[in-house]
A and B are shown apart, each in its own frame.
Chain A
């Protein structure tokens, strides 16, 4: 693009949105140069603050006309660098598109704009006894649009699934500015599941501007059990026993000693500091059913011989237990100046093997690793602790992170359970999938977006990468507003 063309393009954006909503220059755009994967930074050409779906369409059409790459950004909490700007591209900031357009208690759906914060959906549904199920740890700030792009998960995915399982219908702006409608407001559909394809496509297929979400009736009651073990393996065996018993808990989480220490220091959840493995199991649902299930659960867990058990006594106690778990990632910041949150999946029965190997890998690299994981679905979150000021530590930490991902692939799992591939894991996608598989994905991408304008450079291994800069907590994370999961 020539200088004149570039100036014309910015003029066109400004004419459409007004000067106040087109940010250019280093200072106004600084906050948009990175997301929660702070290792990467890139400077966009402009950041535009859109107020309506029509503005999104117009901005996308202007970008398509001028061949300028673009991406939508919500709160920038992506841990895989998914909302990292494309160098010289346009960042479309979606936060003002934050209206909840409708909550329908009969259909049990909510129609929302993409900039709505995850937790706000449950808040709006609350008066009807409903809630929105996916609960990423950053749910108090992350947006539905971002959740959708990366198929976000959370601690409660085993029973009711991830974001994808809760999106029914979409209005989408394709990368050339064409607007389409897919799905609907029924749980059922006819024809290829295009909503399913769009969710988790990491912004590569365009931008969702209106989203119909499925709401669930709030569980009548919870039974939350904390069990402490003197080895991680024992906690892992307890999970296997729960699965074998035929119970289907809403969540099963494990934390190791280092993670317990960090969480305790941060929020004082009442976790036993001397535990090597801490298991949280939660049953949810109808009172009589949960009462019957909890008896079986206690029987099964007691057979696994925890040295301490604690049943949440009331909703506050339950919240305290979860607060410790959900703060574990940011709390690790207390133990180490820098850290990387990894996200991989292994078959549940190979969790013990994976953890032992991760421990060995950490020792080999001279790097501490804390472990927090969604044990119920085999989703590991190793926290790799390092000091970026020490020469070579960042590189060693990155190397270790990569070896952990390869381990997940070797054990028959996945390189990401809920954070997405984004910028961070592109080089591993080609290790998880074969060439023909990647080629099919590439062909779909190119058919939908031949100019590769939408979130260019993400997901695919061969895409061009921006320079690696520094590691530091995201400003929101440092302020304790968001946490990593």
Chain B
């Protein structure tokens, strides 16, 4: 990192900063250091580019500057009974709108209606030439032009510096509660998850949490209060075993803690890995082969993603993990990693290299945002 970060207050100032830089990466709330703490890069601190610029509850749309804390957005939406269905991560920790989009990571609640990619309607960003570019539209349906908003999801600051984002929002379920089955074998838990998930019961979250006594299966159901008990019973019947129920504040706190990575000790690097119920076994094998079967981890959002807490004392083994993931066609993104833990936030298998190379060439010909290995 070079010098003190510059703190632009407008898209034009961001553009100017990009034009004046050789290598630059944006930083919002600083909750995901692996994405911005790159050797030799200027840091653009976007925390002053903050504020909700438009919120239209009746349109299901909210627009905010990139440095706006997600906590502020969520609070504003909650006052109107609405929420961000992709369930952003690290909200209490200070994660911002732009950082969430650039990381492209979602919480357990993404299971119900979709992830960031499904809820990002429009973006403004500064490309590598320092131009202010807009993509998408501030309406819930749009098919005009290339889908630049989706391209920015997961772009890790390497294609442009986001300055403003518009999201689709939804009405929040009236109430939610969670069923929990403790201490299952992984196969058994995946099978039970499939049984409930494939049925008619509509699920907000479905996570498998690794613990000392095996795996805990957690299923969150939400909707009209009037029907909730009957639906919980129906899901419990499908599970056909001892079930504990969390409701009210306990339920809310439980899932808040999950997305803040409260289950992972603070010095661990938290990795996100796309997954399916069919590839969970491959990840288990990778961890077993590296003698890491005891690391804290959660198979989240209907086993569509894993969060793995890689211990600080095993940072030296990250290259081995990288290699093993590549062999197993698995990919990981370091979401929460200590600054300086390594310059490469992406580990494992990658696809689309040639297409990405061409897109990078178009948006950042001089490589101001760095090049992926």
Contact = CB atoms under 8 A, between A and B. Distances in A.
Of listed B141, B171, B194, residue having the most chain A CB within 10 A: B141
Interface string B80-108: 01000000000000000000000010100
Contact of A292 (B113, B226, B359): B226
A151 B272 CA distance: 28
Contacts of B352: 180-183, 191, 194
A293 B173 CA distance: 11
Interface string B333-361: 10000000000001000111111101101
B305 interface: yes
Interface stretch (B22-30, B132-140, B287-295): B132-140
A259 B141 CA distance: 22
B155 A190 contact: no
Interface stretch (A54-62, A265-273, A281-289, A355-363): A281-289
A413 B140 CA distance: 9
Contacts of A106: 194, 276-278
Contacts of B57: 244
Contacts of A349: 56, 58-59
B323 interface: no
Interface in B109-168: 110, 113-115, 117-118, 127, 131-135, 137-156, 158-159
Nearest to B172: A246
Given A161-B114, A285-B202, A296 B224 contact: yes
A88 interface: no
B4 interface: no
A327 B141 CA distance: 22
A185 B346 CA distance: 19
A346 interface: yes
A129 B359 contact: no
B134 A191 contact: no
A345 interface: yes
B142 A193 contact: no
Contacts of A429: 144-145
A291 interface: yes
Looking at B155, B276, B302, B361, the one whose CB has the most chain A CB atoms below 10 A away is B276
Contacts of A194: 151, 351-352, 355-356, 359
A2 to B, nearest CB: 31
Contact of B143 (A150, A159, A289, A292): A150
Given A187-B304, A193-B153, A243-B60, A378 B272 contact: no
A248 B112 CA distance: 13
Contacts of A414: 137, 139, 141-144
Residue among A162, A286, A293, A379 with max Cβ neighbours from chain B (10 Å): A286
B54 to A, nearest CB: 10
Interface stretch (A113-121, A333-341, A415-423, A466-474): A415-423
Interface stretch (B227-235, B248-256, B260-268): B227-235
B146 A201 contact: yes
B69 to A, nearest CB: 24
Contacts of A418: 141, 143
Nearest to B58: A349
A158 interface: yes
A187 B141 CA distance: 21
Contact of A151 (B143, B149, B226): B143
Contact of B153 (A192, A419, A433, A444): A192
Contacts of B227: 286, 288-289, 291-292
Contacts of B302: 187
Given A106-B194, A288-B231, A246 B81 contact: yes
Given A240-B58, A243-B60, A436-B131, A196 B151 contact: yes
Contact of B198 (A150, A217, A446): A217
B274 A189 contact: yes
B171 A444 contact: no
B367 interface: no
Contact of B131 (A151, A240, A293, A439): A439
B332 to A, nearest CB: 7
Contacts of A346: 139
Interface string A203-219: 00100000000000101
Q: Which of B56, B127, B333, B355 has the most CB of A within 10 A?
A: B355
A197 interface: yes
A69 B172 CA distance: 49
A84 to B, nearest CB: 17
Most buried by B among A289, A291, A429: A289
B201 interface: yes
B141 A162 contact: yes
B98 to A, nearest CB: 15
Nearest to A448: B358
A134 to B, nearest CB: 12
A247 interface: yes
B141 A153 contact: yes
A456 interface: no
A172 interface: yes
A50 to B, nearest CB: 22
Given A191-B346, A415-B144, A196 B153 contact: yes
Contacts of B326: none
A218 to B, nearest CB: 8
B331 interface: yes
Nearest to A185: B276
Given A178-B354, A441-B146, A447-B362, A347 B276 contact: no
B237 interface: no
A192 B135 contact: no
A183 B148 contact: no
B301 interface: yes
A142 to B, nearest CB: 15
Given A192-B154, A289-B202, A187 B110 contact: yes
Contacts of A243: 58, 60
Interface string A241-282: 001101110000000000000000000000000000000000
A429 B142 CA distance: 12
Which 5 pairs between the two chains have the least Cβ-Cβ distance? A196-B150, A447-B362, A220-B200, A292-B224, A186-B274
Interface of B: 56-61, 81, 104, 106, 110, 113-115, 117-118, 127, 131-135, 137-156, 158-159, 170-172, 174, 194, 197-202, 223-224, 226-227, 230-231, 234, 272-279, 301-302, 304-305, 331-333, 346, 350-356, 358-359, 361-363
9 contacts: A153-B143, A184-B274, A187-B304, A190-B331, A193-B154, A198-B355, A289-B227, A292-B223, A349-B58
Interface of A: 104-108, 128-129, 150-151, 153, 157-162, 164-165, 172, 174, 178, 180-201, 205, 217, 219-220, 240, 243-244, 246-248, 285-289, 291-293, 296, 345-349, 374, 377-379, 412-421, 425, 429, 432-434, 436-441, 443-448, 459
Given A106-B278, A417-B143, 8 more contacts: A187-B304, A190-B272, A197-B359, A286-B231, A414-B142, A421-B143, A446-B362, A448-B362
